[in-house]
Amino acid sequence: MNINATLLAQLIMFALFVWFCMKFVWTPIVAALDERKKQIADGLADAERAKQDLELASRRSAEILREAKEKAGEIIGNSEKRASEIVEESKTQAKIEGDRIIAGAKAEIDQEVFRAKEQLRTQVSAIALAGAGKILGREIDAKAHNDLLDKLVAEI
């Protein structure tokens, strides 16, 4: 209970403890706490930013999807149109080709007919000559009666 030099010892001890606490305890711990505070704040900010990014990306992906759908629709429409065009075209082509074939055939037939006629006419004239010769009893000079014959042929 006596006041003695313990007082001074306690005073010095107190000062040393406070100094040590300030220098080696308080400063590093508070620094770590501040760092954690910063980390948490950063983390929250990052999360917020990521959320915004996500929203942006989803909006963008929806847009891309919409565009793609549009384009696909357009392509399908185009190809349908083209397909019908091709069908039309081939139909026309076939018709032309058919007509051409028919015309060719007709021409050939005409030619055939004409040729047959010619042949027939020649033969008829020959038969007529032969007939006439028989009737007249003598041979008709082909050369002498050529005009007559030609006239006859032309008449047939």
Partner 1 sequence: MSSEMAHAATEVAHEAAHTSGDYIKHHLQNLTYGQLPDGTWGIAHSAAEAKAMGFWALNLDTFFMSLLLGAIFLFVFRHVAKTIVSGTPGSLQNFCEWAIEFIDTSVRGSFSSKNNMVAPLALTIFFWVFMMNLMDLIPIDWVPLMMSALGVPFFKVVPSTDPNATFGMAIGVFLLVLYYSVKMKGFGGFMGELTLQPFGKWGMPVNFLLEGVNLIAKPISLALRLFGNMYAGEMIFILIALMGGAWAGFSLGGVTLFGSQILLSLGWAIFHILIVTLQAFIFMTLTVVYLDMAHQEHH
Sign of CA dihedral 78, 81, 87, 92: negative
| Beta carbon nearer to partner 1, 17 or 114 | 17
* Cα Rg of the chain (Å, integer): 61
Closest distance of CB 39 from partner 1, Å: 6
- Those residues whose C-beta lies under 8 Å from the C-beta of residue 128, and which sit 6 or more positions away, are 152
| Beta carbon nearer to partner 1, 45 or 87 | 45
Closest distance of CB 24 from partner 1, Å: 6
Closest distance of CB 5 from partner 1, Å: 5
CA 63, CA 56: separation in Å to the nearest integer?
Answer: 11
Q: CB count, 10 Å around CB of 132? A: 15
Closest distance of CB 38 from partner 1, Å: 8
CA 115, CA 121: separation in Å to the nearest integer?
Answer: 10
User: Which residue type is seen at 96?
Assistant: I
| Beta carbon nearer to partner 1, 26 or 114 | 26
Closest distance of CB 14 from partner 1, Å: 5
Among candidate residues 116, 128, 115, the one with its CA nearest the CA of residue 155: 128
| Beta carbon nearer to partner 1, 24 or 114 | 24
| Beta carbon nearer to partner 1, 33 or 130 | 33
Name the residues that contact partner 1, by CB under 8 A.
1-11, 13-15, 17-18, 20-22, 24-26, 28-30, 32-33, 35-36, 39
